[in-house]
Amino acid sequence: MTKGKTKWYPRHIHPVRQGMYECRVRIMGGLIGLWDLEWDSKGFRVPFPMTVYEWRGQTKAARGTT
């Protein structure tokens, strides 16, 4: 696990907090990549058609909250 990051979660588990998350995405045509996307409590905001298949956020220690 990368220091300051949570484990990877599958897309059917949704984040609890709004904010930016590191996402593994599949873009049309089968390209795979990492994108930082915003979760707005309804879904990940994406700039063009793509599928988020895993995501991770920051740990509490990295965020500086209790």
**How many CA atoms are closer than 13 Å to the CA of 38, on its beta-carbon side?**
4
The string of pLDDT tens digits covering residues 5-49 is 999 999 999 999 999 999 999 998 788 999 999 999 999 999 988
Is 45 within the bounds of a domain?
yes
The model's pTM is: 0.82
Is 19 within the bounds of a domain?
yes
Cα 17 from chain centroid?
Answer: 11
Is 24 within the bounds of a domain?
yes
Is 51 within the bounds of a domain?
yes
Is 30 within the bounds of a domain?
yes
Is 35 within the bounds of a domain?
yes
Helix (H) or strand (E) holding 9: strand 9-10
Q: Name the domain count of the chain.
A: 1
Is 3 within the bounds of a domain?
no
- Tell me how many helices (H) and strands (E) the chain has: 1, 5
Is 2 within the bounds of a domain?
no
Asked if pLDDT for residue 66 goes beyond 60, the answer is: no
Asked if pLDDT for residue 64 goes beyond 90, the answer is: no
Residue 3's pLDDT is 79
Query: Cα separation of 5 and 52, whole Å?
Result: 18
By residue range, what is the domain housing residue 19?
A: 9-63
Sign of CA dihedral 65, 62, 36, 9: negative
